[in-house]
Amino acid sequence: MDLQTYQSNDPIAWCPGCGNFGILTALKKALLNLDLPPKDVLLVSGIGQAAKLPHYIKSNCFNGLHGRALPAAAGAKIANPALTVIVTTGDGDCYGEGGNHFIHNIRRNVDITVIVHNNQIYGLTKGQASPTTDTGFTTNMQPNGVVLEPFHGVAVAIALGAGFVARGYSGHSDALSDLIVKGVRHRGFSLIEVLQPCVTFNHRNTYRWYSERLYRLEDEKDYDPRNKMRAVGKAFEWGDKIPEGVFYEEIKDDYAQKTGLADRPHLVDETVNAGEIFKELIDVFI
Amino acid sequence: MRSELMIRVTGEAGQGLKTIGNLLCKIFRRSGWNLFANQDYMSRIRGGNNFFQIRVSNKPVCCTREKCDLIVALDKDSVGIHRKDLNESGRMIADLQKFGIENDPQYIDIPLFDIAQKIGGNDIYINSVACGMISALAGVNFASVKKELEMTFARKGADIIEKNIHAAFSGYEKVNSQAKDCGFVLKEDPEKTGMLIDGNDAIGISAIVSGCKFYSGYPMTPSTGIMEFIARYADRFNIVVEQAEDEIAAVNMVIGASYAGVRSMTSTSGGGFALMTEALSLAGMTETPIVIVDAQRPGPATGFPTRTEQADIDFLINAGHGEFARAVLSPGTIEEAFYLTNKAFYLADKYQIPVLLMTDQHLADSYRNVDLFDISRINNEHFIISKEASVHVNNYKRYALTQTGISPRAIPSWIADVIYADSDEHTEEGHITEDADVRIQMVQKRFYKKMEGLQQEVEEPVAYKVDDADMILIGYGSTFGAINEVCRSETNLGFIHLPQVWPFPASRFQQLIKKGKKLLTVEGNAGGKLAKLIKMETCIEVNGSILRYDGRPINRDYLLSKLAEELKHGSSNLSK
């Protein structure tokens, strides 16, 4: 296998220079690094520019409804654990439309990896504020500037008990690829938020803006991703300095382990002996 | 000697009405009688007024009646509320002295609470006292009562069992000494009986034997029983039952699990189904098989959470944006609920579509003794590319165009190739497209071609005396019980019952309707929705509709009284 293994023949519909290209490359490299054949990977997405990504990679794809990628991904993983399930979603898809599923799938802790493309803007609907847009940012829909407080996905995920919470940057493709590898290897819900410029609609959070602010958590002296309170503090750091890397990591039982499902045959491989089951079920009704 | 008894136990929520109701059902059935039982409960955990009623008969029964022979009132308010529902020779048992109510020839004053306290030191024992009393009045052997009490309280220990038996025996003896000649003794003519079960449990059994491996739902009355039933057996049969954060999550999880290769379902009521409609459309677009049960309750909005109605029929047929094939099944009996749940999985799998199973609170919560379900009628044929064959599949197209509109369905990780499924309009490969010609082909595939196939497999309408009778009653869903009983006992009445309303069995229906017959739909809604559907699908205009929309089920007496009005005034009055 090489990177060509993951080459899709579907033409890409993103704007030239879009941050999504960096994420696509990072994801392909991660899959290769993880030695995962396309048939064993399932990419699930909702709606938005990020959600188109599964078409541009050769792997299984379920491109569902806006905001609803997480429940579909959880259902697929529970039914067929042979699949490595990765969600590609955006700040609007995951934190806005699908906010309730973001909260509860962290609690559910099914073994899926969620990549949130965060460009702090709605691209596909042409430039309205997203849940992560900074206050004061003006758009056609918010001509007097955004007044809603931004949603801190990384902080929320840590607070809710996610076992792997990281942030990458689409301009740092190799580092992002490593984060994806770690996220997939982590057993349970993994969040990788990816900061990403929108070259068409967000002229504030540009490549230059990010490169002046980003620093690596692993370069910070004695930063320990097992320290939850420290991680929460870092998750709120936003402005002149913005951290990237693994914020928080904790080994914990995932959904399959907690429910005992991990010790049972995969649901998809089960055959049903209707007659035998029927006999047992009707006993209490006779 | 009676051939039939209508019994009601009533009190506040939290007094244990369901326990005593179930206990009585088992006692009567164990003694060989047929029965139909339903519950009428309020949306609260304590207080209010609830009842559990049982119609016991030496012949099979399919519904309850309005008036009761015997009512046991466990609290003061119940006496006043239910007095009007006693028939002329009916009697009401209550602790009149405690409630401070004056006696009346139709009342039987029994110190229920005194007996309960003396024997068990707790008011809860009034249930067993009442159970003993009813059994004595109906002439049931006490050995049957004792046996069921032992089984019901088996897990609670010897002391609790002993106290309950003692309490029941006190009630039994009290009746024999105080009220023996009420004339409620049932004729010893019991028929053989199969199972005692309600609609929700029948659906639960059928789902499990149909190979449902993933269930996700959000609790909503009156559908929750299905989820609880499957959850009880989830570990035993390797099924996952996941309580979702909301109905949107539930149905999207079900779609994800089905895409990944397992039979999956959810159940809800109208409000929850409303939240699922976008995903219904997703299942239609991505051609993912799913089964959704809508156990209807009265709306709009929260409506009557614990009561019954049949007002979702047009909603289910039309729900979801865009155009795609679906089937809507409408079981009328507990047996049909069992067989049609299996058919729902079969159709969903074969046509790769969402299938809706429409029940209502009356069917979901009513118990009846039914013949043992026939497991040989279960069809678990799977319409997927087998694991063995999958290994050799390359250049797979999820939405390959075919004559039938059905593309071979592969399971991800099984096949050598990958599977693209998309909610956007897509090519045969499953990639997003905006091509007009592809669009036309895909709409024809998902909608026309699949509907054509579904038409060939529509569940046959059940018809009775459509040639001989002058008046034909037409219904779907749980009204079948009352329609069936009334038509078989009255002369000149026939019926057509529709266990499937979509695709509508139009040509078969037209064949069944003979010239010059008076046609009346019988529906638990205010809009006469079946009448409109019939007109839309067959151009046949019915003469009127017997409707009920007070949240209560259409039973034998209600239907008879409406038919009497019809004979008096003509059908013009009926649709209001």
Per-residue model confidence as pLDDT tens digits over B492-542 = 999 999 999 999 999 999 999 999 999 999 999 999 999 999 999 999 999
- Distance of alpha carbon B227 from its chain centroid, rounded? 14
Q: Please state at what angle helix A99-108 crosses helix A69-79, rounded to 10 degrees.
A: 30
Residue A117 vs residues A95, A194, B336: alpha-carbon distances, Å = 11, 5, 49
CA torsion angle A205 A206 A208 A210 (round to 10): 40
DSSP lists the bridge partners of residue B268 as B294
**A chain contacts of residue B252, beta-carbon cutoff 8 Å:** 64-65, 68, 71-72, 75, 101
Q: Is A77 on the interface with B (CB under 8 A)?
A: yes
Contact across the interface for A282 and B195, Cβ inside 8 Å: yes
The DSSP letter of residue B221 is T
| Cα–Cα nearest to B237, from B210, B198, B267 | B210
pLDDT at site B226? 98
Alpha helices in chain A (DSSP H): 20-33, 69-79, 99-108, 153-159, 173-185, 207-213, 228-235, 255-259, 274-282
Please state, in angstroms and rounded to a whole number, the distance separating the CA atoms of residues B55 and A114.
56
- Which chain A residue is nearest to residue B432, measuring alpha carbons? A55
B84-113: per-residue pLDDT in tens? 999 999 999 999 999 999 999 999 999 999
pLDDT at B575 over 70: no
Q: Is residue A272 scored above 80 in pLDDT?
A: yes
What CA–CA distance (Å, rounded) separates B293 from B229? Answer: 14
Q: Does A260 touch chain B (CB under 8 A)?
A: yes
Of A64, A267, A285, the CB nearest to B213: A267
Backbone φ/ψ region at A136: left (φ over 0), alpha (ψ -120 to 50), beta: left
- Residue A80 pLDDT greater than 90, yes or no: yes
Q: Do A286 and B246 touch (CB under 8 A)?
A: no
Q: Give the residue from A268, A269, A271 with the most B CB atoms within 10 Å of its CB, the best one to mutate.
A: A268
The candidate with the shortest Cα–Cα distance to B505, out of B527, B533, B483, is B533
Test A71 with B250 for CB contact under 8 angstroms: yes
User: Would the pLDDT of A286 be above 90?
Assistant: no
Contact A281 B430 (CB under 8 A): no
Give the per-residue pLDDT at B186. 82
B260 in contact with chain A, both atoms CB, cutoff 8 A: yes
Closest C-alpha to A19, from A148, A189, A211, A157: A211
pLDDT band at B576 (very low <50, low <70, confident <90, very high): very low
Contact between B317 and B328 under an 8 Å Cβ cutoff? The reply is yes
Q: Which of A55, A101, A268 sits opposite B420 (nearest CB)?
A: A55
Residue B417: its H or E element? none
Is the confidence at residue B572, as pLDDT, over 70?
A: no
Amino acid letter for position B270: G
For residue B163, how many C-alpha atoms fall within 13 Å in the half-sphere facing its CB? 18
Residues 277-316 of B with CB under 8 A from A: 278-279, 282, 286
pLDDT in tens, A186-196: 999 999 999 99
Report pLDDT for A103: 98
Residues in chain B closer than 8 A to A266 (CB atoms): none
Q: Which residues of B touch A83 (CB under 8 A)?
A: 260, 412-413
Q: How far is B292 from chain A (nearest CA, A)?
A: 16
Q: Work out the burial of residue B74: count CB atoms within 10 Å of its CB; fewer than 13 is exposed, 13-18 middle, 19 or more buried.
A: buried
Verify whether the Cβ–Cβ distance B252 to A272 is below 8 Å. Answer: no
Query: Is the peptide bond preceding residue B300 cis, with omega within 30 degrees of 0?
Result: yes
Q: Which two tokens stand for residue B418?
A: 């990958």
pLDDT confidence of residue B180: 67
A127 to chain B, closest Cα gap in Å: 21
**Beta-carbon separation of B432 and A259 below 8 A:** no
Q: Please, which residues have CB within 8 angstroms of residue B477's CB and are 6 or more apart in sequence?
A: B310, B330, B331, B332, B358, B359, B360, B363, B524
List CB contacts (< 8 A) between A108 and chain B: 242
Residues of B in Cβ contact (< 8 Å) with A268? 213, 260-262, 411, 413-414
| CA-angle at A233, arms to A232 and A239, nearest 5° | 120
Which residues are within 8 A (CB) of B300 and not within 5 positions of it... i.e. 6 or more apart? none
Q: Which residues on A lie below 8 Å from B155 (Cβ)? A: none
pLDDT value at residue A35: 98
Across the interface, which of A55, A265, A286 has its CB nearest the CB of B431?
Answer: A55
Q: Nearest-CA neighbor of B7 among B134, B150, B114, B107?
A: B134
For residue B573, name the pLDDT band (cuts at 50, 70, 90): very low
DSSP B391: T
Question: Quick one: pLDDT at residue B191?
Answer: 60
- Nearest residue of B to residue A273, measured between CA atoms: B209
Taking alpha carbons only, the member of A66, A27, A8, A11 closest to residue A168 is A27
Q: Are strands B212-217 and A190-195 parallel, antiparallel or unpaired?
A: unpaired
| Averaged pLDDT score across all residues of chain B | 94
Q: Residues B306, B311, B313, CA angle at the centre, nearest 5°? A: 125
pTM of the model: 0.96
Query: Residue B262: what pLDDT?
Result: 98
Chain-chain contact of B248 with A282 (C-beta, under 8 angstroms)? no
Contact flag A286-B372 (C-beta cutoff 8 Å): yes
Query: What is the reported pLDDT for A73?
Result: 98
Does A274 contact chain B (CB < 8 Å)?
yes
Q: Looking at per-residue confidence, does A129 or B186 come out higher?
A: A129
> Which residues are CB-neighbours of A160 under 8 A, at least 6 positions away?
A103, A106, A107
Q: Which residue has the tokens 């959470």?
A: B305
Give the residue carrying structure tokens 């209807």.
B296
B442 has pLDDT over 80: yes
Residue B178 in contact with partner chain A when CB distance is under 8 A: no
Cβ–Cβ contact A38 with B under 8 A: yes
Q: Phi/psi at B433 (nearest 5 deg)?
A: -140, 160
Predicted local distance difference test score (pLDDT) of residue B571: 57
Task: Residue A31: list chain B partners with CB under 8 A.
Answer: none
Put simply, whether B244 touches A (Cβ < 8 Å) is yes
**Would the pLDDT of B28 be above 80?**
yes
Residue among A64, A261, A277 minimizing CB distance to B282: A64
Residue pair B454/B325 in contact (Cβ under 8 Å)? The answer is yes
A154 contacts A247 by C-beta, under 8 angstroms:
yes
Q: Give dist(CA B38, CA B63) in Å, integer.
A: 9
* B31, B145 Cβ separation under 8 angstroms: no
Whether the CB of A83 is below 8 Å from some CB of chain B: the reply is: yes
